Amino acid sequence: MAAEESYALVADGERRLGFGKVEGWRAPGWPNTSGTKQFHLDLAVEDPEAAVEHFVSLGAMRPDHQPGEGWVVLLDPAGHPFCLTRAENWQGR
């Protein structure tokens, strides 16, 4: 992992995920009807409700609007949405 004031990089050997600071950035909101999200993470977890509790304890928020069965949308502390689903839903993908 490398980090500076305006950039951070997380890597595990083959995969790298970089984050850059954007001056004047505003959270896109949820639901996002304007299509302004910059990225989106879908996280496959063994127990979505336990993961929700964990992420909320770290500062995430669970908005009232949810897309339906199989997914839980959370907002990070800056307001950007990300989704959780059961890992078994992604087997074979």
pLDDT in tens, 11-47: 887 677 778 887 887 777 788 777 766 677 888 899 9
- 50: left (phi > 0), else alpha (psi -120 to 50), else beta? alpha
Beta strand ranges found along 1-93 (DSSP E): 2-3, 7-11, 16-20, 42-45, 72-75, 81-86
Topology of the domain covering 25-90: 2,3-Dihydroxybiphenyl 1,2-Dioxygenase; domain 1 (3.10.180)
Which residues share a beta bridge with 24?
none
pLDDT digits (tens, 9 = 90+) for 39-92: 778 888 999 999 999 999 999 999 999 988 889 999 998 888 899 999 887 764
Task: Kindly list the domain boundaries of the chain, sorted by start residue.
Answer: 25-90
Cα(66)–Cα(31) distance, integer angstroms: 8
pLDDT for residue 93:
46
Written as six digits, the tokens of 76 are: 């990070």
Q: pLDDT band for 1, please (50, 70, 90 cuts).
A: low
Q: Which residue has the tokens 């970089």?
A: 18
